[in-house]
Structures are given as structure tokens and as C-alpha cells.
A and B are shown apart, each in its own frame.
Chain A
């Protein structure tokens, strides 16, 4: 039985809950894979904060969800820093889109991800993680702070809660569908 794989990227800053998000819905314990970044695969500017090493190992966690018999969804939690862009390129190639997890105490952490996906026209939604309990900001304030258009969904998500994660994914795929239909009027 051939299953068609589809990908969704889960991006966001360090410690924002990417692996928790993936684990909340994955049918397997999130697995860890590593890729080696060399100075040949990244821009010079991207290495400004890598003082001594010219290679860095990037770990990313991923999970898997079977969607019926012939589809399998992979969720990739990927490091948020700009110097890991090479990995985002790889993961977002052919991906449905990205869920950008945001922590309202550290909104700056998701600017790099937003810039990346926006510039490549990869559909994305912003999920404000309520993992730490409180809802510190109104969603519209978050949208304004992140300077994202009104058409891009922004919602709350407790990354520990399967239902919240499911809702964020539904939001992303719905958004991707709207974008796909806009780009190509149906024949």
C-alpha cells in the first residue's frame, strides 16, 4: 500500500513547546533526527553568532500521524533561530505549511520564522502557546506586534492538549486550501 506523505513544519523559538506540540498528536513518541550544518550550506552572515565552530549539528524532533489508509502526516519541530534556515528550506520544501508557535513573553523569537515562511509564500498560522498558563496578550495585539496580515490565522493553543493541536492543524490546512484555491481558480 503506497501512502502519500505530507509535511507540516512546527517552528518557533527555543523552549516554546514544539516537541510538546508534535507529541500531543503524534502516534509515535517524537523521534529525533540530526543534520549537520557546515559553513558551505549557510550564508556568512548567518554564522555571526557561531564563534568557533564551522559545523553545527541540528537536532529536530518529528512525529507521525496516519490519516486514513493512504495518507501519512509528518510533523517537524524545527529550531527557530535564523541560522537554521537551511533546515527550514529542507523541511518546508513541499510542505503544506507551518504552525509558528509563539510565546508572548518572547515574541521576538518568531520573527525569523515569520519572515522565512512569508518570503517563500509557505502558508502559516501563528499559535500562541498557553502552555505556561496565562494568556498575557490579546490575539489582535499579538497580530499587530508580529505585523502579520489579517488573513493569516492567529489563535491560542495549549501545546499539551491534543484537541488544541488538532485545531491548530485544521486552521493551517484550511488556510493552505484558501491560499491554493486563490492561486489557481478552479477549472
Chain B
């Protein structure tokens, strides 16, 4: 994509967001984002940065991975994703409440430990 410059690419990052930085900060850097079929279908109608986000997250990827792939600051990508989520163009995989209680947290750590040992 880097060799496909389009005019949007040269806009100052915070111009993309209209100066907004006050978005939903509950999107963690590791939160998985995935384009919806609706988002993929509508991709060509979005501006450069939003269209690129949809492209990068056809399979689930972390917020941080999207920012790195597009060379955009995290804060900017958060705003774009929050807008796309409102449109139903991407899904944000937020942790379920039951995943946050302590019993399932120790269970999660055990699975992580086993996973790292098996690498």
C-alpha cells in the first residue's frame, strides 16, 4: 500500500480525526478488531484511512497492529475504529464480563503458561 499514494495519505494525522481525541478509550492496544461483511462490502465508500483499516482487519488483528500497518498514531486509529464500529463496519472484540472475574483470570494465566511452555 505504501507505493499507492492517494491524497488522503498526506493529511496530517489529527486532521483525519477532525482534531478529536476524546474517543472511547476502552479499546485496548491488544483488543482484536475484525471487519464485518458489511464493512468489507462498503469499503470503497470510505475515506482512505477507514478503507485501509477495513482492509487490514479482514482477519482479527490488534488495534496496535492496525496502527503499525498504517503508520498512524494509536490515538488516530482509535477514532477511526470507533467511527467504523458505529457504522457496523468493524467488530470490536471486547472481553466479556465473566472473563474478568478472578477465577477465570487464574484459569487464563494457566492457559497462557501452558501455551508459552509449549512454544
Contacts and interface: CB of A to CB of B under 8 A. Distances in A.
A128 to B, nearest CB: 20
Interface of B: 28-32, 60, 62, 64-65, 67-69, 71, 73-75, 93, 95, 99, 102-103, 105-106, 108-113, 115-119
A111 interface: no
Please tell me the size bucket of the interface on A.
35 or more
B88 to A, nearest CB: 18
B30 A7 contact: yes
Contacts of A64: 62, 65
Given A5-B31, A7-B30, A35-B75, A67 B115 contact: yes
Interface string A164-179: 0010011001101100
A35 B76 CA distance: 9
A3 B109 contact: no
B68 A94 contact: no
Interface centre among B30, B32, B103 (most CB of A within 10 A): B30
B102 A183 contact: yes
Nearest to B64: A33
Contacts of A186: 103, 106
B115 A177 contact: no
Nearest to B110: A177
A180 B110 CA distance: 11
Contacts of A90: 29, 74
A107 interface: no
14 contacts: A7-B28, A7-B30, A34-B71, A34-B73, A36-B73, A62-B68, A67-B115, A67-B116, A74-B64, A93-B28, A94-B30, A173-B109, A173-B116, A187-B103
Nearest to B119: A166
Interface of A: 2-7, 25, 31-36, 57, 62, 64-65, 67-68, 71-74, 76, 90-91, 93-94, 96, 166, 169-170, 173-174, 176-177, 180-181, 183-184, 186-187
Contact of B109 (A7, A72, A96): A96
B115 A71 contact: yes
B58 to A, nearest CB: 14
A174 to B, nearest CB: 6
A186 B110 CA distance: 14
A4 B103 CA distance: 16
Contacts of A174: 113
Contacts of A72: 32, 62
A25 B119 contact: yes
B102 A184 contact: yes
B29 to A, nearest CB: 6
Given A5-B30, A7-B29, A187-B103, A176 B68 contact: no
Given A33-B64, A62-B64, A173-B109, A68 B30 contact: no
